Amino acid sequence: MFDVIRRSYLKKLHEYTDRNVIVYYSGWLQKSELRGYNGFSLNDGDKNGFMAAIHELDKSKGLDLFIHTPGGDIAATESLVEYLRSIFGTDIRAIVPQIAMSAGTMIACSCKEIVMGKHSNLGPIDPQMSGIPTHGIIEEFNRAKEEISKDPSTIPLWQPIIAKYHPTLIGECEKAIAWSTEIVKQWLVTAMFDGDPEAIKKSEHIVSELGDHALMKSHARHISGQRAKEIGLNIQFLEDDQELQEAVLSVHHACIQTLTATPASKIIENHNGVAHIQNVNPIQVQMGPGAMNLLPGIGANFPDLPSNSEM
């Protein structure tokens, strides 16, 4: 039943826009009890789903890409964007019905425009390392150097903190920051601002706004469509087209309902009903938060994403 309803709404949206439609939905909000389950994040395995969804589409009709994700691996994000562009060029429109954080925001910035509603949010693009902002690590390290230089008696206070840093940590943080900002800037210049004489200036401003941890204060900061537009992103508001809004939100609610009521943890699906759906074992959901340490392959035992590439 969930599949039938979801696919009927996807088909209706396609008929309205005459564009290819692919949804990329993660169930991290609906299955929040599965803390530590990395399957919710964007990763290299997702490309298999996109390959299946893209097969046999009319590539000349561009792509409307729904993004609903907490983020994920930078390398996987870069690879996915390059793959999508090799198929559709820059004729890709991001649709964010609710929330696309971190790497999801990076993908949105690679598109020619971003469709958002009053309820929609993007997020900062500052990289994380094991859940800790790389900007924060560098800021703390520089603060330690400054305080120790001014007052050597503070060494005993800082020593146990700095001792936790592995030898290449600061360098890895700097490289992750440079990597994320460079690729997003390039994507903005070549798609959203293609042909604009001020493309580089606009892109640099957007990247500085989205990537400045000191400005954003938190990697979890929610950026509204209005704020995204003020930053300089090309935002189309759902409320300006009631028929589009109804079609988009119908798809969104159908996907959310699927993630809520079934074992599905991630959905990649096109308007023809070709889908790649990742499931979690229903028992994992039923057992609740304490289950994570009891299930092999989940939680503490699940392989971590590369520490220098989390978004």
- Residues 226-283: tens digit of each pLDDT: 999 999 999 999 999 999 999 999 999 999 999 999 999 999 999 999 999 999 864 4
**Three-state DSSP state, 126:** coil
pLDDT in tens, 18-44: 999 999 999 999 998 887 787 899 999
Which of 134, 107, 104 has its CA nearest to residue 121?
104
The pLDDT, as a whole number, for residue 178 is 87
Beta-sheet pairing, 113-116 with 92-96: parallel
pLDDT averaged over every residue in the chain? 86
Q: What is the pLDDT of residue 104?
A: 96
Looking only at the bridges linking them, the beta strands covering 92-96 and 63-68 are: parallel
Measured distance CA(308)–CA(133) in Å, rounded: 10
Say what percent of the chain tops pLDDT 70. Answer: 88
| Residue 185: band (very low, low, confident or very high) from pLDDT cuts 50, 70, 90 | very high
Strand partners, 92: 63
Supply angle C-alpha 85, 40, 236, rounded to 5. Answer: 50
At 198, list the tokens. 């001020």
Residue 216 pLDDT level (bands cut at 50, 70, 90)? low
Q: What are phi and psi of 264, to 5 degrees?
A: -60, 130
Give per-residue pLDDT as tens, 76-97. Answer: 999 999 999 999 999 999 999 9
- Could you give the CA distance from residue 41 to residue 265 in angstroms, rounded to a whole number? 10
